[in-house]
């Protein structure tokens, strides 16, 4: 078992794509395939299942990744100590987040980080919100970003960066868009456009309406915030979305926020990593960039709400 095989396995486990892993490692794809096959032959188990074009870790692969992650982290730490030059960082960093954070919060973080650390290879994987914690425990991501209520975990370090406001949005010609005040009974018979069940903020949406005594709601469920927006613009129903996803559409007059406050809904963009993971200079630099970019948005909002005399 060779060290390069372990590193190749970790990279493939992070990207779940042989071609992308080859790009990261500067190998030809056949070299990556050959190394993984040799590793599987030596271990006597399959580490990946190839389901058509989709690559997934097997149960044995997940267990193997968990055990080798510590070894490779120690090696990364040793390399860092030897070179010890934080102004010329190099290596690979894997980030995961859900679709909303990826599209509306992380691009500016990536831009800042790349400008400071051009030698670092950034790998990003979009992961459903409810699966993000598991990527940290499996070692397939270094840092993840979650959109959820305040998270408490004994195994993860979690840092809230930005509170996100959720609203109900509709097309400007929707009957409820003309109202200055809404009552619960106004929502009877309306169609709500939401994320699928299992998404944390969908659960919070259901809970808030159940508290108000409404337990029979008509939904259209989506996996994509963009799909929800487009259906709301078309007049199909009322969208439940974070404000950050609709700023452009509201400015263009394609959507309006309904005059309804959703009670007890406290959702944050939160950054997380495994508590036992060694935070290399590459990871620490990224964490700092995320704090600078995302947390500064909250500070700007607070200055607008509470201007100094």
Write out pLDDT tens, residues 109-145: 999 999 999 888 888 888 888 889 888 888 888 999 9
Topology of the domain comprising 3-82: Arc Repressor Mutant, subunit A (1.10.10)
Task: Please provide the DSSP assignment of 79-97 as one string.
Answer: HHHHH--GGG--EEEEEEE
Helix 29-43 × helix 18-25 angle, to 10°: 110
For the chain, give every domain's residue range.
Answer: 3-82, 89-163+267-305, 164-257
pTM score over 0.85: no
Instruction: Calculate mean pLDDT across residues 18-33.
Output: 86
The pLDDT tens digits for 175-197 are: 999 888 988 788 888 899 988 87
Homologous superfamily in CATH for domain 164-257: Periplasmic binding protein-like II (3.40.190.10)
Sequence-distant (≥ 6) Cβ neighbours of residue 2 within 8 angstroms: none
- Model confidence at 244, pLDDT cuts 50, 70, 90, reads very high
Q: Do domains 3-82 and 89-163+267-305 have the same CATH topology?
A: no
The answer to whether residues 1 and 39 touch, using CB atoms and an 8 Å cutoff, is yes
CATH code of the region 89-163+267-305: 3.40.190.10
- Model confidence at 298, pLDDT cuts 50, 70, 90, reads low
The answer to whether residues 109 and 290 touch, using CB atoms and an 8 Å cutoff, is yes
Instruction: Calculate mean pLDDT across residues 7-13.
Output: 87
Nearest to 99 by CA among 222, 224, 200: 224
Q: Which of 28-42, 131-145, 208-222 bottoms out in mean pLDDT, i.e. has the lowest?
A: 208-222
User: Where does 98-148 show beta strands of DSSP type E?
Assistant: 120-126, 143-148
- Model confidence at 63, pLDDT cuts 50, 70, 90, reads confident
CA atoms of 219 and 141, how far apart (whole Å): 33
Handedness of CA 86, 92, 94, 95 (dihedral sign): positive
Determine the 3-state secondary structure of 238 from DSSP.
strand
Whether 258 has a pLDDT exceeding 90, the answer reads yes
pLDDT at residue number 272: 96
pLDDT at residue number 220: 87
């Amino acid at each position: 078992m060779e060290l390069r095989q372990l590193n190749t396995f970790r990279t493939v486990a992070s990207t779940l794509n042989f071609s992308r892993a080859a790009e990261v490692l500067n190998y030809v794809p056949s070299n990556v395939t050959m190394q993984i096959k040799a590793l599987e032959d030596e271990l006597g188990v399959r580490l990946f299942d190839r389901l058509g074009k989709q690559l997934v870790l097997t149960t044995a692969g997940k267990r193997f990744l968990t055990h080798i992650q510590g070894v490779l982290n120690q090696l990364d730490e040793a390399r860092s100590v030897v070179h010890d030059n934080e102004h010329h960082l190099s290596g690979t960093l894997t980030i995961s987040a859900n679709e909303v954070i990826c599209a509306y919060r992380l691009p500016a973080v990536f831009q800042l980080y790349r400008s400071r650390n051009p030698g670092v290879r950034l790998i990003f994987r979009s992961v459903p919100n409810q699966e993000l914690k598991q990527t940290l425990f499996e070692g397939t991501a270094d840092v993840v970003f979650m959109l959820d209520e305040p998270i408490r975990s004994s195994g993860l370090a979690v840092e809230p960066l930005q509170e996100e406001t959720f609203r109900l949005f509709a097309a400007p010609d929707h009957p409820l868009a003309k109202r200055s005040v809404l009552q619960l009974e106004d929502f009877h018979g309306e169609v709500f456009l939401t994320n699928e069940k299992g998404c944390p903020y969908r659960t919070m949406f259901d809970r808030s309406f159940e508290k108000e005594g409404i337990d029979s709601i008509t939904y259209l469920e989506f996996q994509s915030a963009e799909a929800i927006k487009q259906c709301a613009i078309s007049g199909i129903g009322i969208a439940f979305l974070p404000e950050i996803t609709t700023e452009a559409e509201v400015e263009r007059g394609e959507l309006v926020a309904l005059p309804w406050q959703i009670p007890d809904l406290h959702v944050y963009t939160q950054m997380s990593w495994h508590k036992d993971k060694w935070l290399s200079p590459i990871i620490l630099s990224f964490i700092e960039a995320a704090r600078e970019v995302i947390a500064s948005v909250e500070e700007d909002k607070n200055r607008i709400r509470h201007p100094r005399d």
